[in-house]
Structure 1
Amino acid sequence: MAKMIFVNLPVSDLSRATAFYEAVGAVKNPQFSDHTASCMVFSDTIYAMLLTHDKFRQFTPKAIADARTTSEVLICLSADSRDAVDDMVGKAKGAGGAADPSPQQDYGVMYGRSFEDPDGHIWEVMWMDVEAAANAQPATAAA
C-alpha cells in the first residue's frame, strides 16, 4: 500500500474553506466529514483535513498559528503540466484565494506557482519534466 499524507489545516470558516478547496479541484469525502471537519481528497494518497479551530485544538496543546502573518509549513502539490499549474492557481484566485504570494519559479524543466487560501495557508503547485531534469547537467562552479 502506498503511503498517504493527511495535511491537517485549521480553518476559521469550514463552509468557505470547503468550497474553496472544491473550487481548486479537491473532492469532499463525506465519510470523514462533519460539522467540524471536511476531508478534501486531492488524490488516492493526498488529503487535506480542514478542521474548525475547536476541532484542531483537540490534537495539539500549541496555539494555532495565524497563517496570514506567520508561516509554519509550505505545502506543495505536483501538477501534470505547466498549464495545470496555471489552471489550479487561477481557480484558487477565482475562489477567493490569492495568486502567487510567493515568487513564481521557472527553471525550464521545473515550473511552479503558489496560492494562498482564505485562511492564509500557502500551497505551491509545481510541474517538473522528470526526464529532462534527470538528463540535465549539473552546474559547475567557476574556477
Structure 2
Amino acid sequence: MQLFVNLPVKDLERSKKFFAELSFNLFGMAEDMASVIINQETQVMLLTEPTFGSYITKEVADAGKGTEAILVLGMENPAQVDELVDKALAAGATPAGVKQEDGVRYQRGFADLDGHHWEALCLVQPAG
C-alpha cells in the first residue's frame, strides 16, 4: 500500500525549490502539481490551491492560521533530524512545534513556506 498526502500550495515553483533544497526528489511534475518523494511508499503531492480546491467540497484551509495535520518524517538518528530541520530553516521555513529530547525521542519541527507543520523524529533505542 502507498500513501499520497496532498497539500495545497500558493506558489508551486517556490514550493518545488524549497523541497529540492531539502534534498527531496520531485516526480510527475505537471503545471499545477508536483510530487515530493519521501520513500518508495510515500509521496507528498503539492497542488496549487485551485487544483487542490477542485478535489474538495469545503474551503481550502489556510495552514498559516491553523494546523490541520502534522507531517512527521522518521529519521534514523538525531543528526539527521538536525540536518533536515536546519536545511528547512535555511531555505525559508520557520520553526514549529516544541523540540522534544526526552531520552525516548529526539524531535524538531518547522513550518514550510505555506505554513504546513512538519516534524523530524528519531526514536531513541533503549539501552540494554
Q: TM-score interval w.r.t. the shorter chain?
A: over 0.9
| AA at the equivalent of 2:74 | S
Query: Is the contact made by 1:112 and 1:125 (CA closer than 8 Å) also made in structure 2?
Result: yes
Q: Which runs of 5+ in 1 are unaligned?
A: 136-143
Q: Check if 1:117 corresponds to 2:115.
A: no
More strand by share: 2
Q: State whether structure 2 residue 56 is matched by structure 1 residue 67.
A: no
SS at match of 2:97: coil
How many residue pairs match? The answer is: 128
Q: CA deviation at 1:6?
A: 0.9
SS at 2:7's partner residue?
strand
* Alignment partner of 1:82 is 2:51: no
Q: Please report how far the alpha carbon of residue 19 of structure 1 lies from its aligned counterpart in structure 2 after TM superposition.
A: 0.8
1:56 corresponds to which letter in structure 2? F
Structure (1 or 2) with the larger CA radius of gyration? 1
Q: Deviations over 1:67-105 (max 9, x none)?
A: 011111111010011000000000001111113x11100
Name the Cα RMSD after superposition: 1.3
Q: Give identity over the alignment, percent.
A: 32
1:5 Cα offset (Å): 1.2
Does residue 4 of structure 1 match 2:5? no
Match of 1:15 in 2: 13
TM (normalized to structure 2)? 0.94
SS in 1 for 2:79: helix
- Structure 2 gaps of 5+ residues are none
